[in-house]
């Protein structure tokens, strides 16, 4: 697919996927959603990419929300198709074996926050504003917000944010457990790259297995989750990476993981 609204940059094992519609504050329309899914599948297949970072072009917005101009003319059938397209993107992100970090550099509202919620964790600029304002427009979040936000910050705070449509500052979002870390706008990408490089240096099979165990275990009873964890844990002992990682520890040298 030709990407008109997405930029991909790859360096040092990190794939940066940037939504590039700054004139529209990187708003998500149907074309952008499809291109973003295509871009993520492309970096997922790239063996040189160990960690994915999603961010927005410009200084004002990560993603300011869904494209209201497109959405305002939708009938129920078109709205359902748009929501399903968004759910397919979110599912693609959550099922990706590679970790995804959201670098929220500005407004992350509506679909923008839902996109960030589908990442494995969020780093934010101190200028960022986060929220789900759909109720102020007469609708509800349609890209997974009603499901992912309560799982992250708890049902009461999620209801407050969704019912009121209010925006959180980056600091408030961190206090609510929505954002991992807040830094200046100038520091954001360097800080994200710092943590991404630490992740990329670890065994990729182990990181993928950890993501799988966490995401799948959350919807299981604890005993079932523990059994699932044990199964995933044990399978890694049939990998060359496990032999390399533990061998390197015993031999007091850096590990050279191959993802095998």
Question: 114, 181, 187, 244: which is the annotated catalytic residue?
Answer: 114
Using an 8 Å Cβ cutoff, are 37 and 48 in contact?
A: no
Q: Is 114 tagged catalytic? A: yes
- Residue 210 CA to chain centroid, in angstroms? 16
* Both tokens assigned to 47: 């063996």
| SS3 annotation, 190-218 | HHHHHHHHHHHCCCHHHHHHHHHHHHHHC
Question: 35, 37, 134, 229: which is the annotated catalytic residue?
Answer: 134
Cα-based distances in Å from 228 to 32, 202, 216, 232: 36, 22, 8, 6
Using an 8 Å Cβ cutoff, are 5 and 20 in contact?
A: yes
Q: Is 37 tagged catalytic? A: no
Say how many C-beta atoms besides its own lie within 10 A of residue 254's C-beta. Answer: 9
Catalytic residues: 114, 134
């Amino acid at each position: 697919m030709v990407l008109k609204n997405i930029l991909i940059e790859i360096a040092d094992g990190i794939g940066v996927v940037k939504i590039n519609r700054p004139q529209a504050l990187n708003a998500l329309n149907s074309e952008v959603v499809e291109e973003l899914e295509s871009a993520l599948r492309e970096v997922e297949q790239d063996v040189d990419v160990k960690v994915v970072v999603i961010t927005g072009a410009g200084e004002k917005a990560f993603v300011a929300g869904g494209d209201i101009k497109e959405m305002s003319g939708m009938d129920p059938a078109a709205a359902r198709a748009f929501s399903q397209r968004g759910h397919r993107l979110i599912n693609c992100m959550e099922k990706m074996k590679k970790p995804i970090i959201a670098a929220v550099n500005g407004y992350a509202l509506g679909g923008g926050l839902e996109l960030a919620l589908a990442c494995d964790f969020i780093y934010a600029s101190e200028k960022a504003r986060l929220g789900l304002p759909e109720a102020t427009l007469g609708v509800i979040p349609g890209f997974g917000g009603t499901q992912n936000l309560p799982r992250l910050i708890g049902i009461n705070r999620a209801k407050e944010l969704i019912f009121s449509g209010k925006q959180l500052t980056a600091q408030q979002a961190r206090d609510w457990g929505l954002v991992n870390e807040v830094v200046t706008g100038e520091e954001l990408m360097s800080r994200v790259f710092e943590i991404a490089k630490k992740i990329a240096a670890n065994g990729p099979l182990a990181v993928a297995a950890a993501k799988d165990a966490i995401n799948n275990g959350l919807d299981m009873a604890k005993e079932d989750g523990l059994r699932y964890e044990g199964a995933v844990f044990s399978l890694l002992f049939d990998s060359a990476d496990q032999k390399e990682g533990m061998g390197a520890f015993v031999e007091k040298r850096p590990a050279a993981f191959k993802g095998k």
